């Protein structure tokens, strides 16, 4: 076992994580090269200027991050991948209305879809909202509504008195 910061991780898990990070950073650098219109010679000159290495394969994660930061400073703007805000792709239509309710509660609360996915994981052991059945989806909506009500009460927006 190795300690990285405060987190204790298994070495093999760390290696996989580092491999995935390197792969993602190299892909981002290649996209930046294309978007900035750099030919191979200019691209390698940028790599050498930033890290003293002419190939991404020879760089570690921190050096790759430095290259990405340099390319951002020269106008590269990475685009978000996938669907906006992590909204799940739903195959069944019976849950579409409930997902709209989840999305509305997340929007009102200023939360991201990852918040709903984390709640689904915590409450039901399912990694994503789209894996929940109808009963679990109803419970998730109720939990989000309760959280929003508590937030509103703390902010003083609701005095707890029903108005008719």
State the distance between the two ends of the chain, measured CA to CA, in whole angstroms. Answer: 61
Residue 148, judged by CB atoms within 10 A of its CB (0-12, 13-18, 19+), counts as: middle
Query: pLDDT-based confidence at 7, cuts 50/70/90?
Result: very low
pLDDT tens column, 135-145:
999 999 999 99
Query: pLDDT-based confidence at 8, cuts 50/70/90?
Result: very low
Cα–Cα distance between 64 and 59 in angstroms, integer? 6
Whether 84 shows a pLDDT value over 60: the answer reads no
Whether 85 shows a pLDDT value over 70: the answer reads no
Query: What does the pLDDT read at residue 122?
Result: 93
């Amino acid at each position: 076992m190795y300690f990285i910061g405060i987190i204790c991780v298994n070495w093999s898990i760390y290696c996989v994580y580092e491999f995935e990070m390197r792969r993602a950073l190299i892909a981002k650098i290649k996209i930046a090269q294309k978007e900035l219109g750099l030919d191979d010679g200019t691209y390698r000159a940028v790599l050498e200027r930033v890290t003293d290495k002419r190939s991404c394969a020879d760089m570690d994660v921190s050096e790759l991050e430095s290259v990405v930061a340099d390319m951002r400073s020269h106008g590269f703007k990475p685009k978000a991948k996938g669907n906006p805000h992590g909204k799940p792709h739903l195959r069944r239509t019976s849950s579409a209305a409930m997902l709209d309710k989840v999305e509305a509660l997340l929007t009102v609360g200023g939360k991201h879809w990852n918040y709903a996915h984390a709640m689904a994981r915590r409450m039901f052991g399912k990694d994503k909202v789209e894996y929940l059945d109808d009963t679990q989806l109803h419970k998730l909506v109720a939990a989000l509504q309760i959280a929003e009500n508590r937030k509103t009460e703390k902010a003083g927006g609701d005095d707890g008195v029903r108005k008719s």
